[in-house]
A = this chain, B = another copy of it.
Amino acid sequence: MSGVNLKKLSQELGLSISSVSKALRDSYEISVETKKRVKAMAEKLNYQPNPFARGLRKRNSITIAVVIPEIANNYFALAIDGIQLVAQQKGYHVLTYLTHEDAQNQESTVKHLQGGRVDGVLISLCGDTAKENHLTALHETGVPVVFFDRIPEAMGCPTVTTDDYESGFKATEHLIRAGCKRIAYLCVSGYLSTTNNRMNGYLAALKKYKINADPKMIIECSNDDAANLEVIKRRLKMKGRPDGILSSVEKLAITTYYVCNEIQLKIPQQLKIISFSCLRTASLLSPSLSTITPPAFEIGKESASLLFRMIEKKNFGNRIDQIVLKSTLIERNSSR
């Protein structure tokens, strides 16, 4: 811990610890002259208040927590960027926790956050959040919580999401209009609100255009890149293989590109692809990748702003904000 504490400061000044403390907090009990002297010395010795003493006294931590599945992911990196922008403006510290799509990990992190370490929590759920007890327990401690992107099924919490259903619908419609008849949906296994809503949009579009939904066309992948490559390769080599792919996850679209290179399947002539993605190089890929781009930075910003309104108790009564920001479909060569 820091070398200069209240005790040292008071020794240097020849004042009591409590006088120094009061002077630093601008108490009316201390003269203007003394306050000046104390503050000058604090500046000179580079005194920084002990955050733990401050936390105990004020009953807050000026810290928020962000719990996300992963960071080496363009979507979450951009979202964090937006969150940090707002937190910095508010003078708050940001603790980041990665669950790596591990439900156990998420549970222990959330449990820990009940202890008062933070004033608010932003969460994007990991895949397969089967039990929601820990989320309910956190909610019940009264600490403000905002879920973003991947949200619980039915908790009545504030959320910030994108229009997953509509985007899934539009992307599928886009592939159908480009001539695709056998459209596969690529996703990660386990329940996720995003995956589910996008798939429902995909199924609704198939129905609208009278294309039978085929369970074999729902391709569930895992967190294991090598295994995913094999799964996708097998599907793209089988009889009646897909002629179009809607990928719910950026990295699965990338894996599909690798598979197509390997088995010499031509994009877009033999397979059209569109993916949910925040990839900055989408337009430079060979061929350029059509994307549904969620406004990740704005989602982070909105989530943090909403959380601070709750922390500062600017949200009245029983109001629950559920904010939906639109994604953008960008057509490029992979689906032409």
Interface residues of A (CB under 8 A from B): 1-3, 46, 48-53, 55-56, 59-61, 63, 70-74, 77-78, 80-81, 84, 88, 93-98, 111-112, 114-117, 137, 140-143, 251, 254, 257-258, 261, 279-281, 284-288, 297
Contact = CB atoms under 8 A, between A and B. Distances in A.
A297 B72 CA distance: 10
A36 B229 CA distance: 51
Given A55-B55, A71-B81, A254-B281, A111 B46 contact: yes
A49 to B, nearest CB: 6
A41 B207 CA distance: 54
Of A63, A70, A84, A115, chain B has the most CB atoms within 10 Å of the CB of A115
B80 A71 contact: yes
A284 B257 CA distance: 8
B116 A1 contact: yes
Nearest to A251: B280
A78 B72 contact: yes
A168 to B, nearest CB: 23
B98 A95 contact: no
A333 to B, nearest CB: 10
Given A111-B46, A141-B2, A56 B53 contact: yes
B73 A115 contact: no
A192 B71 CA distance: 25
16 contacts: A1-B59, A1-B143, A2-B114, A2-B115, A2-B143, A3-B142, A46-B111, A48-B112, A51-B116, A52-B61, A63-B95, A72-B74, A73-B77, A94-B97, A251-B280, A281-B285
Contacts of A73: 77
Given A3-B140, A93-B95, A285-B285, 14 more contacts: A1-B116, A51-B116, A52-B61, A71-B71, A72-B77, A72-B297, A73-B77, A77-B77, A80-B96, A81-B98, A254-B284, A261-B284, A285-B286, A286-B287
Nearest to A333: B286
Contacts of A285: 281, 284-286
B279 A116 contact: no
A305 to B, nearest CB: 17
Nearest to A281: B281
B70 A81 contact: yes
Contact of A3 (B98, B141, B286): B141
Given A48-B111, A254-B281, A93 B72 contact: no
Contacts of A112: 48
A94 B261 CA distance: 40
A-B pairs, top 7 by smallest CB distance, nearest first, are A48-B115, A286-B286, A52-B55, A1-B116, A51-B117, A52-B56, A72-B77
Nearest to A73: B77
| Interface hub of A48, A60, A117 (most chain B Cβ within 10 A) | A117
Among A1, A140, A286, find the residue whose CB has the most chain B CB atoms closer than 10 A. A1
Name the residue in A98, A251, A254 with the highest tally of chain B Cβ atoms < 10 Å from its Cβ: A98
Nearest to A3: B141
A96 B98 contact: no
Contacts of A258: 284
